[in-house]
Amino acid sequence: MDLRARVVPSTFEEDLVKADYTPAGYVQENARQKALEVYRRLCAAEAPPSLVIGADTVVVADDKILEKPRSTEAATVMLSELSGRSHQVLTGVALVYGAAYGAPPIEESFAEITEVDFASLPPELIDAYVASGEPMDKAGSYGIQGMGGSFVTGIRGCYQNVVGFPLHRFCTRLDVDRLRRSGRAGSMESPPVS
């Protein structure tokens, strides 16, 4: 199948109340809302897309959801909380399949969970890493695919999930037959990714 993705950033505010959800439910609902916002916007401007994919990743430590830090101080606190401990990385993925004009889209979502073990991080290492700027756009204030990967002593689960998108699980959940039946498979227009 020839899938060509185009990135369409979502304008969903991501203002869900964390206390109303489990961590897995939280990332799934954020991913769903991102995908639905893009789907609706594209439907208003053009034909319904064949597929919109939304994703949201967080880090969870002691049942506390850690998103992207809002300041260098917040990044320092998050990394200190993760130091020398295990935590979970959760990614919610929503698949919103286009439907016939006027029909509601078909939605599916899942959450992938990966356990990550961190080394003990001395304060001066945390400060230097935060000063690099790398943590500032990463859930939990680190990126395993960058310098933050040097803090990781082990993972149990999907590495790509920790990077931010559980590719294998996505591929197993992608409904290729639905895309073919929609008549937009093969040389189909790219599915937007929010």
Which residues are part of the catalytic machinery?
56
Amino acid residing at 45: A
What are the tokens at 141? 């204030």
What are the tokens at 68? 């992207």
Q: How many CA atoms lie within 13 A of 166 on its CB side?
A: 24
Amino acid residing at 67: E
Q: How far apart are the first and last CA of the chain?
A: 21
